[in-house]
Amino acid sequence: MIRSIRFLIGLGALIVSMALPSGVQAAFVTRAEAAYVLDVTTGTVLLNKQGDIPLPPASMSKLMTLNMLFEALADGRVTLDTRFRVSSTAKAMGGSTMFLDETDRPTVEELIKGIIVLSGNDACVVVAEGLAGTEEAFSRLMNDRARDLGLTGSTFANSSGWPDPVHRMSMADLGKLAARLITEFPEYYGYFALTEFPFDGRAPQNRFNRNPILGLGIGADGLKTGHTQEAGYGLVGSAQQGNRRIVFAITGLDTAEARAQESESIVNWAFRQFVQRTVAEEGKVLAEADVWMGAEPTVGLVAPEDYTLLVPALIRGAVPAEIVWRGPLQAPVAAGQHIADLIVRFDDLPETVLPLVAERDVAQGGFGTRLRTAAGVLMDRYLGDGAGADPS
């Protein structure tokens, strides 16, 4: 049988409660067509507005090209000093470029900067051809890798985000990919904070990073803008304040100014409307579960470690939660055995499920325990049949 208890957990106190508070945080209303906001530190999705719908990603999909290049660096296929040739196909790319030509032999490091800062479409083609021979082959590798990474809303037709009816990414995939670049490749993440890259003195007016939230004093340090007529203005951004980091992906804004305003507002909202709280301390008994045929009748349910969650800032003193387990538990029970779950829910946030374990060993009961249990079962059946009821 499934057993459950609803609690308010707060500062060492447990208060039984059957009602959960509503309106505990101010929901963010975005002008973006689609948006996804993730607290990387806790893994909490703070906002998902049409975030799972595949949409034209424009240059934001260059993050997948960078992921492929960072993986090649990580496994030693290339180094930052490796030089790639520039084909006539790469040189012919329009849009944002590094102004590469066939006489150039840019290094991997220069190409990384060229993709991030200058949004170089030519640089993306150089990387694609350098790693896979052709851009078509590279696109197939991108699609295979996207499936491996669980990016289910992504399909790649090229390396640069050049408009194509097949080329699509969801904002959720972009947010997850951004988090991966930050956590898996910290040695390369610093490139995303560069505000300019005057490659070989070419086109000096094009040397500046288009990311509008860099340098605003809000902890922003990445990642990639995007714009086409089809996609509108978008941004995959990240910021860190204190020990918290968020990433977000937005698209479909009408102007670059709207993109900048919306991005800054999202960062401020994410850090000001949510705080980290310890909702369960390691080893602290949160509830007792019955043990069937055990040497002891109950066992404590405890957290195996401190559980810290992101909670709405307006909640003071208590966090709504529910403990669920299948009981009564069958003896013997081992200390540290996963026997229950702590479920935390808030309005407009996905529920969080945290495992709870047995506080101590509970051995199987002896003959006396079995005798008392059998007697109790018989008594329950006897009373359940109506014995002892008033005949009138």
Contact call for residues 108 and 58 (beta carbons, < 8 A): no
204, part of any domain: yes
pLDDT score at 201: 83
Residue 352's closest CA among 311, 303, 301, 294?
A: 311
Three-state SS sequence of the chain: CEEEEEEEEECCEEEECCCCCCCCCCCCCCCCCEEEEEECCCCEEEEEECCCCCECCHHHHHHHHHHHHHHHHHCCCCCCCCECCCCHHHHCCCCCCCCCCCCCCCEHHHHHHHHHCCCCHHHHHHHHHHHHCCHHHHHHHHHHHHHHCCCCCCECCCCCCCCCCCCEECHHHHHHHHHHHHHHCHHHHHHHHCCECCHHHCCHHHCECCCCCCCCCCCEEEEEEEEECCCEEEEEEEEEECCEEEEEEEEEECCHHHHHHHHHHHHHHHHHCEEEEEEECECCEEEEEEEECECCCEEEEEECCCEEEEEECCCCCCEEEEEEEECCEECCECCCCEEEEEEEEECCEEEEEEEEEECCCECECCHHHHHHHHHHHHHHHHHHCCCCCCCC
222-264, pLDDT tens digit by residue?
999 999 999 999 999 999 999 999 999 999 999 999 999 999 9
d(CA 299, CA 362): 7
Question: What is the C-alpha R_g of the chain?
Answer: 28
Verify that 290 and 254 share a domain, yes or no.
no
65, part of any domain: yes
Verify that 245 and 282 share a domain, yes or no.
no
CATH number for 252: 3.40.710.10
Q: How many Cα atoms are found within 13 Å in the side-chain-facing hemisphere of 236?
A: 28
35, part of any domain: no
Verify that 325 and 305 share a domain, yes or no.
yes
Chain-centre distance of CA 87, in angstroms?
37
- Could you tell me which residues are beta bridge partners of residue 146? none
Q: Furthest-apart CA pair in the chain: how many Å?
A: 106
pLDDT score at 25: 44
Contact call for residues 242 and 149 (beta carbons, < 8 A): no
Residue 202's closest CA among 101, 81, 60?
A: 101
Verify that 139 and 121 share a domain, yes or no.
yes
389, part of any domain: no
Blockwise average pLDDT, block size 10, the chain, 392 residues: 59 30 59 96 92 98 98 98 98 95 97 97 98 98 98 98 97 98 98 94 84 97 97 98 96 98 97 88 91 90 90 76 85 93 80 92 72 50 48 32
Q: Which domain holds residue 364?
A: 2-20+278-347+355-380
Verify that 258 and 361 share a domain, yes or no.
no
Chain-centre distance of CA 85, in angstroms?
36
Verify that 264 and 183 share a domain, yes or no.
yes
| Tally of domains in the chain | 2
387, part of any domain: no
pLDDT score at 372: 55
315, part of any domain: yes
The residue from 228, 247, 272 where one domain ends is 272
Verify that 164 and 303 share a domain, yes or no.
no
Verify that 295 and 252 share a domain, yes or no.
no
CATH number for 327: 2.60.410.10
CA distances from 188 to 71, 75, 115, 217 (A): 11, 14, 13, 22
The residue from 252, 272, 292 where one domain ends is 272
Q: Which amino acid, one-letter code, is at 378?
A: L
d(CA 85, CA 105): 5
Verify that 177 and 59 share a domain, yes or no.
yes
Question: In degrees, to the nearest 5, what angle opens at C-alpha 218 toward C-alphas 212 and 224?
Answer: 35
Contacts of residue 126, Cβ cutoff 8 Å, sequence gap at least 6: 84, 85, 86, 87, 90, 100, 106, 111
CA distances from 311 to 25, 321, 360 (A): 9, 12, 30
Verify that 215 and 322 share a domain, yes or no.
no
CA distances from 388 to 183, 253, 385 (A): 67, 74, 9
Verify that 223 and 120 share a domain, yes or no.
yes
Verify that 335 and 373 share a domain, yes or no.
yes
The residue from 272, 304, 339 where one domain ends is 272
